[in-house]
Structure 1
Amino acid sequence: MHGSAHMGNPDDIIPRDIRFGILENAQRHWLDGDIIKTVLIDGLSIFLPEGERFFIRSLKHYGPKIADRELAAEINGYAIQEAFHTREHEEYNRAMTALGYDVEKMEKPIRLGFEVVKNPLHRLAITCAIEHMTATLSSLTLRHPELLDNAAPAYRRLWMWHALEELEHKAVALDVLKAATPDMSRWQRYLVRVLGMNATLFPFLVLFLRNVPIYAKADGVKTGLRFWLRFIWVTLVAPGYWRRCMPNVLRYYLPGFDPRNSDDAELMRKGREWLANDMPPGRAATPANPAV
């Protein structure tokens, strides 16, 4: 494993080429020894390689059309970060396959779902919605790092790194939407944004919940009433991951929604400090421009 945490300015989008070695450290129930807590996070990784490639294509389509060179540079930084995320989550998913989970079966409808979206503006609107959802989860992770206190080290580092970078670039997609639609009124743009979330949130929940029994089957765990009652408890009560996220997810429906929050700079500072302190000594990674 190698990399650099790169302490920088709060507004920086800093690609960090870090390899976390999940395949060599593959572990079942790596969070608290708990299948439900673990599937809630492993289940996200199932979405990520296809999703991140989709996001990169969505934003890079508009890059040459945007006159704002600073925003164009942010698109490039965003794409490099997401390319590294794709690489690490492909390995993460290979680790799940090695442990006996049917990743291909879980990924297939996700891949098909992204493939049917052809219109560039629709792709961008969906990217904006998903980026808000991931930024919400990332903010929760950075505000409450104790949620990962009992995680296996390689997994904890990967998710803290991912959370930090999602926070760094969380406003880019919405900035691109605004720049790409100069002829739209504020309310037309709002409608595009909200329809993008409507087209994202329900299918995400359906696919995520559809994948849980497939995941559990590999562990020989029956997903009967007791399983689902505890699933509801973990997601909505304690620790209540989804309950904690829902208010901020719903903020997206406010007409004047701005993804930037007053504590973003402090969360990024803490995340960068945490990453710098937790990573083992190694070769500093120079930000690169991988094929995306």
Structure 2
Amino acid sequence: MKQTTITSGYPIVPRTEVDFDLDGDIPRHWFGGDPFKTRFFDAMSTLFPEGEKFFISCVRDYRDQIRDPELQQQVKDFMRQEAQHGRIHKQFNDRLQAQGIRVDRIEAKTRSLLERIRKLMPASFTLAQTAAAEHMTSIMAHSFFERQEVFADADPRIRAMYIWHGVEEIEHKAVAYDVLKNVAKAGYFLRVGVMVYTSVMFPLHVFLILRRMLKADGFSFGQRLGLWARGLRWLYGWNGLFRPLMGHYFAYYRPGFHPWQDGEMLTYQRWASAYAQNGGDAVAAGNAAHAGAA
């Protein structure tokens, strides 16, 4: 059977010279001075270097079976983008290590866990994990960066880093999915079952790391309880961070779902235009994308 892909209007562009001045005077709690908001995104960052390596390996498992030249090129560009994401987040994580956060231990445990999963589970399962995680990160980009208030209080350099990461997640959001469906020939129940698994395990790991970070920050038990109460309301409350994502998230469970059914993204277009106009200045592009959000 011929392998087919549904393409987007966005080319996958590996950008290898991005710089966010991560060695600059970035505050410890860079998200408006809020420890929970800051450490939530910091905790995600600690997972990215090993996570990106995992995603690359899981897609590479099927690379030799791809017959569609367009998908072959998309996989190549996907792997280059993911490698760059891991490199930039490693730079950011070095800041956290200097703050007393044992990022080295977090990365070692993450690496060990992902290695065990790849040894114990079939390649189709780990590829389905990759497709699920790619969907989750891309819908965060769709939602977070279209709403100006979400990152209004964030340090512009870290905001720019996450906007750049989100933009590239949008560009390659269908690659792992297309390999899963058209090359690995995964069925509906594997796809959605692994999405349920990933939807539980990913936030669980983020929260465990976040808890460790708040302890390292020196907050007392009572202070941490208050931070968690306010933070979970910020994440999951009626006007919380994740509520606008739910429609995009549950779309994954439709039998005929494809990532490019979500359509265009105005923030992407603003970012790409500003990035080109400013000679590849990712911070300037991030500021322009944020300023133009609704």
TM-score normalised per structure 2: 0.83
Describe the shift of the 1:271–1:56 C-alpha distance in structure 2 as closer, same or farther (beyond 3 A).
same
The residue matched to 2:259 in structure 1 has which SS? Answer: coil
Q: Is the 8 A contact 1:157 1:275 kept in 2?
A: no
The residue matched to 1:92 in structure 2 has which SS? Answer: helix
1:251-290 maps to which residues of 2 (within 5 A)?
251-276=251-276
Aligned equivalent of 1:149? 152
Aligned equivalent of 1:137? 140
Query: How far apart are residue 153 of structure 1 and its match?
Result: 2.3
Aligned equivalent of 2:242? 242
Matched, 1:163 2:162: no
The residue matched to 2:173 in structure 1 has which SS? Answer: coil
Q: Is the 8 A contact 1:102 1:214 kept in 2?
A: no
Alpha-carbon displacement from aligned partner over 1:159-195 (angstroms, at most 9, x marks no partner): 111010000100111111122134xxxxx61111112
- Count of equivalent residues: 269
Query: How far apart are residue 26 of structure 1 and its match?
Result: 4.3
Q: Is the 8 A contact 1:59 1:176 kept in 2?
A: yes
Distance across 1 between alignment mates of 2:165 and 2:148: 13
Aligned equivalent of 1:98? 98
Query: How far apart are residue 255 of structure 1 and its match?
Result: 1.6
More contact order relative to length (CA 8 Å, sep ≥ 6): 1
Describe the shift of the 1:226–1:146 C-alpha distance in structure 2 as closer, same or farther (beyond 3 A).
closer
Q: Choose the corresponding residue for 1:216, options 198, 214, 218.
A: 214
Describe the shift of the 1:274–1:113 C-alpha distance in structure 2 as closer, same or farther (beyond 3 A).
farther
Describe the shift of the 1:280–1:190 C-alpha distance in structure 2 as closer, same or farther (beyond 3 A).
closer
Distance across 2 between alignment mates of 1:133 and 1:71: 21
Distance across 2 between alignment mates of 1:237 and 1:273: 34
Query: How far apart are residue 46 of structure 1 and its match?
Result: 1.3
The residue matched to 1:264 in structure 2 has which SS? Answer: coil
Query: How far apart are residue 271 of structure 1 and its match?
Result: 2.6
Distance across 1 between alignment mates of 2:144 and 2:55: 22
Describe the shift of the 1:268–1:255 C-alpha distance in structure 2 as closer, same or farther (beyond 3 A).
same
Structure 2: runs of 5 or more not aligned? 1-7, 283-294
Distance across 1 between alignment mates of 2:76 and 2:68: 13
The residue matched to 1:161 in structure 2 has which SS? Answer: helix
Matched, 1:49 2:49: yes
Alpha-carbon displacement from aligned partner over 1:36-58 (angstroms, at most 9, x marks no partner): 11112111101101110011111
Describe the shift of the 1:147–1:277 C-alpha distance in structure 2 as closer, same or farther (beyond 3 A).
farther
Alpha-carbon displacement from aligned partner over 1:84-143 (angstroms, at most 9, x marks no partner): 101001111111111222223433442232111222211101000100110111111331
Matched, 1:173 2:173: no
Query: RMSD across aligned C-alpha pairs, in angstroms?
Result: 2.3
TM-score normalised per structure 1: 0.84
Aligned residue identity for 2:11: D
Query: How far apart are residue 265 of structure 1 and its match?
Result: 4.8
Aligned residue identity for 1:213: R
Deviates more, 1:50-59 or 1:229-238: 229-238
Describe the shift of the 1:263–1:222 C-alpha distance in structure 2 as closer, same or farther (beyond 3 A).
farther
Describe the shift of the 1:259–1:87 C-alpha distance in structure 2 as closer, same or farther (beyond 3 A).
same
Aligned equivalent of 2:287? none
Q: Choose the corresponding residue for 2:196, options 177, 198, 223.
A: 198
Q: Is the 8 A contact 2:47 2:110 kept in 1?
A: yes
Aligned equivalent of 1:13? 12
Distance across 2 between alignment mates of 1:264 and 1:152: 27
Aligned residue identity for 1:220: G
The residue matched to 2:242 in structure 1 has which SS? Answer: helix
The residue matched to 1:147 in structure 2 has which SS? Answer: coil
Aligned residue identity for 2:43: G
Distance across 2 between alignment mates of 1:152 and 1:56: 30
Query: How far apart are residue 274 of structure 1 and its match?
Result: 4.4
Describe the shift of the 1:21–1:230 C-alpha distance in structure 2 as closer, same or farther (beyond 3 A).
same
Describe the shift of the 1:275–1:30 C-alpha distance in structure 2 as closer, same or farther (beyond 3 A).
farther
Describe the shift of the 1:281–1:257 C-alpha distance in structure 2 as closer, same or farther (beyond 3 A).
closer
Structure 1: runs of 5 or more not aligned? 1-8, 183-187, 283-292
Distance across 2 between alignment mates of 1:277 and 1:240: 34
Describe the shift of the 1:275–1:28 C-alpha distance in structure 2 as closer, same or farther (beyond 3 A).
farther
Distance across 2 between alignment mates of 1:52 and 1:281: 24
